Every structure is written in C-alpha cells, then in structure tokens.
C-alpha cells in the first residue's frame, strides 16, 4: 500500500479524534482513539525501510550497521532503545539512540558527520519522505516495543547528564523568556488546545510521552524522533536550531527518560 | 544566594559538602552544554541563548525569587517600560484584536525560519481565553474574558494593563508570560491597541 493511501486511512480515522479534542481537550482519549489500530500506523512502512537500511552494506566502507553496539553489545537491538541514553566507553560520553547511530555510521560505515547531519529531518512543508536517520531510528526503537523505559543512571556521566538535563529544562532564555518548564511543569495546561504534559514530576504524563516516541505525526505526515521533538520545542521557543545529537539534547532526553522510568513502550507511536 | 549558604551550612553539618560542589558544577555544565548545543552561523542568532539578569535569576531560583529580592527585581523591570509617543495607552480595539490573535512569528535557524519581516503578534490565545467565541484558547494564563467589564475602562486599569503586557515581570517576578514589549516582540503602539481590545466596552471581550 502506498504511503498516501495509508495516510488517507489514518486521517479519516483521526478526524473523529480532532472533533472530540475541540469539544473537550483530552490527550489521553485522543491517544487511545488514534492509537487503536496499530496495523494502520504508517510508521510501519518507515520501520521496514529502516530495517533495510540497517542491514544493507552502505557507506565508503561498504558495511551494514549490524555490528553497531547500542549498549547491549554489538548487534543486539532487542531492548537496547529502552536502555538509552547511556554512557559509552568508546566515545566517553552519554549517547541517545540517534547520537549513537551517528557514531556507528561514521565509525563502521565511514560516513562523515557533516554529510549525515546536513538534513536530519524530513521537511513536512515540502511533504518529504522520512530521512534515513529517521527511518533507522524508528526501526531501532521499535525493537523495544512492550518493554519498560529503563535508562541506566549508575555511571557518573549518566547521573551528570540527567542533572544537567534538568538544569536545561528550567533555563529561561530567548525573546519569549521561555524555559521548557514554562510549558511542561504544571498539570493540565494547554497551549491553545494542545495538551502539555507535566514533565517536571515523575509519573504518568512523562511516561506516556517518552514511551510513545518515535511517533507518526499525522500533521507532519512523517515519523518524528525525540531529537526532532527537542529541535521542535527549541524552535518554538524562538531559539537557534538545536544541534542533532548534541550533549544538550541528549541530556534533556536523559532527564525526561529518568522522569519517565518504568513507562511501557508502545512503539511506534501515533500523534497529532 | 542565601538559600545556597543555608544549604551549604546544613550539608556541611551532615558532612556531605561534596553534593554542594556538584550543584555548582551542574549550573556551570548547563552553560557548557547550552553553548555547544545549537548550530552556529549568522541565521542562527545565537545571541538569543545568552541570558539577561532577569532570565538568570529566574533560572537560578526556578521562578521563585526570594521575597527580600523581589522589590529590586520589580523596580528593575519597571525601569524598562517605554510608552507610546502619543502618550495614549489605549488605542484601536479592532487592530488590537488582530495583534492579540496573531502568532509571534520570529522563528530563526536554517531548518524552518519565519520571514524576518513577518508581522509579529502577541499570540495571547496560546495562553489566555478572551473573546468567548474563540474556543481554541490555552490556559497557562488566566481568562481575560470580561476583562474591561470587571475592571472598568479607567486610567488605572489602562496603565496597569499596558505595563503588564509591556513587561509582565513588573508585577510578577518570573511570570510565565513573555516580556513582550521589553523583548521587542510588540511595539508600544501594538500594545496600546491590545489594551483597547481588553478594556473597550465595544470589544467582544466585554460583550
């Protein structure tokens, strides 16, 4: 089935959800309604493409990513995403799935970071297909479907990333004086009709969010990853483009995953 | 500062000074991570990640400025307020309705920037209800429906409302509401129009 046909099916399924949201904004009901039919999630096609890309011999060194170590050993994907971000000895830094992917694509396959990060996200204004990075990420993440968010916090650098992430979350800056906390540190808040999770406390809000990404965003007609969400909220805060896979974005994700610990992944997600 | 000193004293008594050192380190690390966290280049406007004194204090105290600091804080904010050249703090409510509703625009970067000359609005519905016919209103701020009806169209109300929008922190340290005039999102004239939209008896806000 073509991407467009599936998108059409999903859109009609979602219309009911949108109408409902206008009457009484309720993210949970919306999620459950839209998430109902997992087989109709267009992200499944992107996952297939990600798998092909993962197993294909690519790059100047003409090797696949099958020997990439996402933290549970070379080649082990099952459950790896659920235990990220984590400290990696070889790079001596804490990495999330996406920054780790960059490491493997440069070290194993011989790509350069510059070429890989030239365009990290599909441009939804131009209705583009997902980038290779997005497809690979959702494939990797989907191998942790049904597992619990369980990023380690033992190594001092993991603890540092979580604490620094919390600090970044509260930092106010830019022409709108916003911090992440301005929108995500109170219960039951909305920007217009969009529900905002309270991520400043551990619990259901942040578990539901972190366990549902990567997600197929219907309004973008594309799969979106956590690195994209970090860029997106920074962009909405009128800040410069967040650097893909930077220690800053990884620290935010480490903090959010620490807050969302024990949430159960339902991947790929589907959202507005 | 005081909070920190007390913490140091307490933790020293418990013999865990190490934690305190770590806290200071974390604040320094936050700045390092931020400094390397964004793309560089002319279109990125990296000056936007540099904090002014107000933003720094609100970050340090997580928006809860100690009571003994509040007076000086609010005086500093008040000193930033500029008024329209005409001296009229309440303008045209119909124009104000549009500016109240329009988005902030002003996004930067190379991925999806707004046009630099795009009209900037107050995006007030993101956080506030106002005209009851607008259902897509956020709730980070309180409802402004019936604002003029409740407070009257008096010079005091007009002055307060103008100043609140120009620099929200004048009346509430570390408010979640952006300092829209001070930060250059809105001009004094745009703010005066919005004031009219909130207080004018003819405005849908007060119908």
Measure CB to CB from residue B184 to each of A121, A175, A193 and give the nearest one. Answer: A175
Q: What is the pLDDT of residue A136?
A: 98
Dihedral angle over CA of B160, B192, B125, A241, nearest 10: -100
Tokens 């905002």 — which residue? Answer: A196
The answer to whether position B87 is within a domain reads no
List of chain A residues whose C-beta atoms are within 8 Å of the C-beta of residue B22 = 163
Above 70 in pLDDT, residue B8? Answer: no
**How many CB contacts within 8 angstroms connect chain A with chain B?**
138
Domain-by-domain residue ranges, chain A?
A: 26-271
Asked if pLDDT for residue B11 goes beyond 70, the answer is no
Nearest chain A residue (CA) to B47: A174
B/e letters for A172-206, b = 16+ CB within 10 Å, e = fewer, are bbbbbbbbbbbbbbeeebbbebebbbbbbeeeebb
Domain assignment present for residue B122? The answer is yes
Residues of A in contact with B46 (CB under 8 A): 240
- Condensed to tens digits (0 to 9), the pLDDT of residues B62-84 reads 999 999 999 999 999 999 999 99
Report the distance separating Cα A154 and Cα A205, nearest Å: 24
Element (H, E) at A161: helix A156-170
Neighbour order of strands in the sheet with A269-271: A222-224, A215-217, A269-271
Q: Which residues of A are less than 8 Å from B37 in CB distance? A: 168, 242-243, 246-249
Residues in B touching A191 (Cβ below 8 Å):
126-127, 138, 140
Please report the sign of the dihedral spanned by the C-alpha atoms of residue A169, residue A172, residue A173, residue A179.
positive
B111 and B29 together in one domain: no
What pLDDT, in 10s, does the model give residues A52-75?
Answer: 999 999 999 999 999 999 999 999
For an interface test with A, give the residue of B138, B179, B185 to mutate (most A CBs within 10 A). Answer: B138
Distance between CA atoms of B7 and B20, rounded to whole angstroms?
8
Superfamily of domain A26-271: Cytochrome c-like domain (1.10.760.10)
A55-114 residues touching B, CB cutoff 8 A: none
- Give yes or no for residue A126 having a pLDDT over 50: yes
pLDDT in tens, B164-186: 999 999 999 999 999 999 999 99
Pick the closest to residue B199 from B122, B87, B93 (CA basis). B93
Residues B33 and B111 grouped into a single domain: no
CB contact under 8 A, B38 and A241: yes
Among A123, A164, A242, the residue with its CB nearest the CB of B38 is: A242
Using a CB–CB cutoff of 8 Å, tell me whether A171 touches chain B: yes
The answer to whether position B20 is within a domain reads yes
Quick: pLDDT tens for A135-158: 999 999 999 999 999 999 999 999
Note the pLDDT of residue A2.
41
For residue A35, the model assigns a pLDDT of 57
Q: Is the pTM of this model over 0.90?
A: yes
pLDDT at residue A37, as a whole number: 77
Contact at 8 Å (CB) between B46 and A248?
no
Residues B32, B100, single domain; the answer is no
Please indicate, yes or no, whether residues B124 and B199 belong to a single structural domain of this protein.
yes
Q: Identify whether B24 is part of a domain.
A: yes
Contacts of B62 in chain A (CB under 8 A): 170, 181
Q: Is A180 among the residues known to form the active site?
A: no
Domain assignment of residue B171, given as a range: 93-206
Structure confidence at residue A28 (pLDDT): 55
Name the pairing type of β-strands A93-95 and A222-224: unpaired
Residues B121 and B200 in one domain: yes
In a domain, B55, yes or no: no
The C-alpha of B89 sits at a distance from chain A's nearest C-alpha, in angstroms, of: 22
For residue A164, the chain B residues in CB contact (below 8 A) are 26, 29-30, 33
The domain total for chain B is 2
Nearest CA distance, B148 vs chain A (angstrom): 22
Task: Enter the DSSP assignment of A176.
Answer: T
Q: Over pLDDT 70: what percentage of chain A?
A: 87
Closest Cα of chain B to A20: distance in Å?
13
The shortest CB-CB distance from B49 to any of A173, A186, A188 is to A173
A172 CB within 8 Å of a chain B CB:
yes
Whether A233 and chain B come into contact, CB under 8 Å, resolves to no
Q: Is B145 within a domain?
A: yes
Three-state SS for chain B is: CHHHHHHHHHHHHHCCHHHHHHHHHHHHHHHHHHHCCECCCHHHCHHHHCCCHHHHHHHHCCCCCCHHHHHHHHHHHHCCCCCCCCCCCCCCHHHHHHHHHCCCCCCCCCCCCCCCCCCCCCCHHHCCCCCCCCCCCCCCCCCCCCHHHHHCCCHHHHHHHHHHHHCHHHCCCCCCCCCCCCCCCCCHHHHHHHHHHHHCCCCHHHC
């Amino acid at each position: 089935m073509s991407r467009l046909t599936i998108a059409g099916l999903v859109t009609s399924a979602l219309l009911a959800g949108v109408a409902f949201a206008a009457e009484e904004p309720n993210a949970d009901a919306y999620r459950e309604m839209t998430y109902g039919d997992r087989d109709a999630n267009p992200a499944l096609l992107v996952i297939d493409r990600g798998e092909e890309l993962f197993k294909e011999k690519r790059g100047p060194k003409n090797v696949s990513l099958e020997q990439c170590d996402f933290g549970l050993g070379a080649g082990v994907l099952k459950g790896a995403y659920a235990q990220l971000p984590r400290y990696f000895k070889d790079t001596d830094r804490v990495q999330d799935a996406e920054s780790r992917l960059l490491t493997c694509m440069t070290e194993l396959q011989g790509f350069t970071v510059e070429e890989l990060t030239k365009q990290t996200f599909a441009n939804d204004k131009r209705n583009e297909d997902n980038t290779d990075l997005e497809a690979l990420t959702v494939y990797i993440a989907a191998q942790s479907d049904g597992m619990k968010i369980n990023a380690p916090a033992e190594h001092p650098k993991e603890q540092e990333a979580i604490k620094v992430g919390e600090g970044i979350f509260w930092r106010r800056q830019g022409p709108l004086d916003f911090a992440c906390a301005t929108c995500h540190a109170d219960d039951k808040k909305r920007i217009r009709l969009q529900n905002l999770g309270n991520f400043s406390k551990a619990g259901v809000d942040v578990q539901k969010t972190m366990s549902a990404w990567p997600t197929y965003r219907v309004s973008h007609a594309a799969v979106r990853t956590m690195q994209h969400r970090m860029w997106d909220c920074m962009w909405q805060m009128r800040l410069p483009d967040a650097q893909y896979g930077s220690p800053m974005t990884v620290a935010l994700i480490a903090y959010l995953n620490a807050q969302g610990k024990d949430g159960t992944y339902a991947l790929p997600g589907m959202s507005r | 500062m005081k909070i920190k000193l007390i913490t140091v004293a307490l933790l020293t008594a418990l013999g865990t000074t190490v934690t305190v050192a770590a806290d200071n380190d974390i604040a320094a690390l936050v700045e390092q991570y931020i400094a390397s966290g964004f793309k560089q280049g002319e279109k990125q406007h990296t000056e936007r990640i540099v904090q002014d004194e107000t933003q720094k204090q609100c970050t340090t105290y997580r928006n809860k400025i100690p009571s003994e600091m509040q007076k000086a804080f609010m005086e500093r904010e008040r000193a930033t307020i500029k008024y329209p050249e005409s001296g009229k703090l309440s303008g045209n409510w119909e124009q104000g309705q549009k500016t109240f509703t329009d988005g902030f625009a002003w996004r930067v970067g190379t991925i999806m920037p707004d046009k630099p000359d795009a009209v900037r609005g107050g995006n007030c519905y993101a956080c506030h209800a106002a005209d009851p016919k607008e259902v897509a209103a956020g709730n980070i701020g309180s409802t402004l429906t019936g604002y003029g009806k409740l407070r009257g169209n008096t010079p005091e109300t007009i002055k307060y409302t103008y100043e609140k929008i120009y620099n929200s922190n004048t009346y509430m340290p570390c408010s979640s509401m952006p300092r829209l005039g001070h930060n250059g999102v809105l001009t004094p004239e745009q703010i005066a129009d919005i004031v009219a939209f909130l207080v004018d008896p003819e405005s849908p806000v007060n119908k």
